[in-house]
Structure 1
Amino acid sequence: TDLPGTWLALEEAQDNLKEAQELLEQGKTEEAQALLELVEAGLTKAQRKSQSRTWALPLSVKLAELQTDQAKTALDIAKLELAKARVELGKATITASFDGIVADIYINEGQQLSSMSYANPAIHLIDPSEIKMNGVIDEMDISKLKLGQEADIILDALPDKEVKGRVTFISQAGTVQAGVVSYKTIITLENPGEQLRDGMSATAEIIIDRHENVLLIPNRAIQGSWDSPWVEVLADEQVEQRPVELGLSDGIKTEVLSGLEEGESVIFPESQLPFRMFGG
């Protein structure tokens, strides 16, 4: 038996085992497994040579130590492979980020998904407790919009249902369609109830400011310019031009800050019919 050759085989196996352990620490299980197979082959070769001489005992001790280390390394590799398998198994389970109702499923059982498939959703999940309304705001009004503003929602299918909401998203980038610039806006409904369904059509009136107990006048009665507005007032059967100071407007009626009193009658210029002022 070649004693130097036997020790050389053991030392080579020990070096390979050390390198395999380093690869294992780096997570390179395939490379570590390949070196471990070389270690096993070297140990088998050394074991055969160590069984025919009187100096077999020290060789056997050295061999046993290496075999123990080899077994520990093989166990570590198996543990790492098991951990990887558990991670991959976890990827097979789809976990929703919130409680809700599955409205639609876009994949079929047994279907193989590619990297391109991840661009599309697998499931359409709805949270019935929080419904969002997607809409657009004209560029003329976008500067008046702020996050948190209240909104009254009018549903086409449920016109008598009162639904409140708040502005929760305002896009910073506009979209041009037919030459008109608009901005995507999202309103989160505060009291959706069970009657609302995903995809319903609705209109939102966003409250940009609120004044109560004010004097209102129809916009049709206002003449002149915004800087110098005036109205025609019927007083003692005489028509009088009266300058007024205006406040908030909803596009139909406008707040009058000064120039008119509640109960006075104004005249629409196109019809010349008097309209009695009222508070609101």
Structure 2
Amino acid sequence: MKTRIITVLIINISLLSVLLSGCSKNVVPVGQSFEVKRGDLDIVISADGSLTVPNEFDLKFGTTGQVSEILVEEGDTVKQGALLAMLDNSAQKNAIKTALFNIQTAKNNVSFGCGTDYLPYNYPDLSVPRLCEEAQKDMDAAINYFKQGNYKYAGYNLIMTYFDIEVCEDLIKSRPNAAVLAGAKTNSTYYPDLTAGLSVPEPPDDEMVVDYLQKYRQKLMNIAQEMKSGAYEKIEPEFDAAWQEMSIVKQLAKSTMSIKNRFVFQYADTPTSVDFLQSSLRSLQELEEYLAQDDAVPVEAAKKLYTAKLNLLVGRDVLENQTLIFESGGSINWKTLQQYNLSLQSAEIALYKAKQDIMKTAIVAPSDGTVVSVDLKKSYVLSAQDYSSRTAAMLVDTKTIKFQGLVDEIDILKVKRGQKARITMDAVPNKELTGTVKFISPFGTESGKVIKFAVTIELDPTDVELRGGLSATADISVYSAKNVLLVPVSAVVTMPSGPMVAVINEVTGQPEYRQITLDRQNFQFAEVLSGLKEGDKVQVVNQKGAVNAPITQSRSGAPGTMRMLR
């Protein structure tokens, strides 16, 4: 029986030694010596997780209507600012026309009080040149964003310009001849020919102007299409040419109407100017607060910025036209002026809202990426029940992939924003990515009875083809020291008085314990602050200090208990 027990013990001890030798490949044999050298000490904390695609966009139309164009297919690679899809925008164009009509009505209502109009010369239709001014502003914004490299907003304002010109065409084509409808006769007492006997160039024909505007609008659409491929160097001269051509567009549009003996008033009081300037400040403050949110959407931010810009422009127009209405004379008074301002402000605001609404009929790529799905087809009708939930296309930017992982609660306080990390993946062997810690969750979650905290790492640009969902491991560098004195952790023992090492005496060749001061350490090395110098040789000891060397006595006179430094 005793022999059997001894045999079992021997077998168990043998198995245990095999297991320990297999699991502890990095354990240094007792008695082996090391030379103290200088080197770099890196301390890392590992986090297991996976790669995610933060820039994943479910692109939807912002209103009801029939799909008129789907300009991309699944698998297409597009650049930010590219036009992807369009709805029929007839209702939105009518809303812009109505707003322009209300602006015109408000302006003409005050003209009678000033005594500057005489029938039948009043009520000139200023809608077309007014909208051309909007087109010029949108085109200016588009070209400025383009030159700044902000192609997303360049594409957005380019499409806005496209819609401005499209509405101008409709206004010119649908505008009735008020004099003919009223039965007025040319060169009559009430409608004299003021150019009779004069050499006056023939004004452009409306059809010719419409044809020119259509061709110009097609140029804008061609630029929008070319932005999809990212050929920005090719687009730049075309963009500049279209911007310069806008002056011709404005002249032709203005030539389709005439103003005779007419003052055109804008806002004319200081309180109105201040109100619009304050509105712009509020809009900018709202934009700043919105951008601070983690779920801020670039397109919504662009809309808020556009609104602030419009308010600033209106405030400027107010100041530029302070005295015009009073210089005109007439019987206008303060009350009439305020009513005029309120009516005109309401109409202007309605125009801005109508312009924003027409942009809901277009989908512009908010980022570079790949179209991974197209869920709508041409002629599909979006109803009030499904337009907000129906995805037109899904766009994924695979170049902005991030790592999301979990860090143990013991290590989380060592992790800080801005720390560098190395990321490895089983799916991409022998390839190491780099990144920066961008977010550390303030709340922990329980995972296997252990509290862990979520960490997000933003990857640096790489040419490696990545996919969202790939499992990965991140080593976060929480401490790094260059050219410091290092000693192997396996050579250090601790006593009540502090850490010690067995230093080999250069004369006798025997080990002697020496107390040292250490700073930080990783699993292999510890940084030495004092007690050792470069070139010293230290010897590895076991947990009980089993080395034939003098041991420093504790203050009580008894040998202190030693343990390995971990």
Q: Please classify the TM superposition score into its range, dividing by the shorter chain length.
A: 0.5 to 0.7
**Corresponding letter in the other structure for 2:492:** I
The yes-or-no answer on 1:247 pairing with 2:519 is: yes
- Structure 1, residues 50-91: CA drift from partner, whole Å, max 9, x if none? xxxxxxxxxxxxxxxxxxxxxxxxxxxxxx9xx87x94x865
> Deviation of residue 169 (structure 1)?
0.8
1:95-134 equivalences under 5 Å are 95-103=364-372, 125-134=395-404
Following TM superposition, by how much is the alpha carbon of 1:183 offset from its aligned partner in structure 2, in angstroms?
0.9
Give CA deviations for 1:206-242 in whole Å, capped at 9, x if unaligned: 1222211112223233221698222223333323222
Q: Within 5 Å, which residues of 2 pair with 1:1-12? A: none
Q: Residue by residue, what CA displacement relative to the aligned partner does 1:82-119 show, whole Å, maximum 9, x if unpaired? A: x87x94x86565554322123467x676799968x95x
Q: Is the 1:218–1:254 Cα contact (8 Å) retained in structure 2?
A: yes
Q: Greater Rg, structure 1 or structure 2?
A: 1
Matched residue count? 194
Shift of 1:137: 1.3
Code of the aligned partner of 2:540: I
TM-score by length of 2: 0.29
Letter in 2 for 1:245: T
TM-score normalised to the size of structure 1? 0.55
Whether 1:202 aligns to 2:472 is yes
Which residue of the partner structure matches residue 144 of structure 1?
A: 414
Q: Please list, as runs of the form range in 1=range in 2, the aligned pairs for 1:38-57 lying within 5 A after superposition.
A: none
Q: Distance in 2 between matches of 1:93 and 1:215?
A: 64
Q: Which amino acid aligns with 1:223?
A: V
Say whether the 8 Å CA contact 1:147–1:170 is kept in structure 2.
yes
The runs of 5 or more residues in structure 1 that have no matched partner are 1-23, 26-79, 274-280
Structure with bigger helix share is 2
- Give yes or no for contact 2:491–2:541 (8 Å, CA) kept in 1: yes
Which of 176, 181, 200 is the matching residue for 2:446?
176
Counterpart residue identity of residue 260, structure 1 = L
Deviations along 1:145-197, whole A, 9 cap, x unmatched? Answer: 11111112223233432422111111111111122111111111113223333
Matches within 5 A, 1:67-86: none
Contiguous gaps of at least 5 residues in structure 2: 1-97, 100-349, 548-566
Instruction: Quote the sequence identity (%).
Output: 35
Label 1:185 to 1:245 Cα distance change in 2 as closer, same or farther (>3 A). same
Report the structure, 1 or 2, having the larger strand content. 1
Contact between 1:170 and 1:186, CA under 8 Å: does it hold in 2?
yes
The alpha-carbon distance between structure 1 residues 108 and 238, as it changes in their structure 2 partners (threshold 3 A), is farther
Residues 376, 393 of structure 2: 8 Å contact kept: no
Alignment-mate amino acid for residue 266 of structure 1:
Q
Q: 1:252 to 1:175 in 2, by over 3 A?
A: farther
Q: Specify the alignment match of 2:498 in structure 1.
A: 228
CA distance in 2, matches of 1:171, 1:227: 39
- 2:463 aligns with 193
CA contact (8 A) 2:376 2:392 kept: no
Is 1:165–1:187's contact at 8 Å kept on the other side of the alignment?
yes
Q: Would the aligned equivalents of 1:231 and 1:266 in 2 still touch at CA under 8 Å? A: yes
Equivalent of 1:156 in 420, 426, 430 = 426
Please give the secondary structure, in 1, of the residue aligned with 2:511. strand
Q: Secondary structure at the match of 2:399?
A: coil
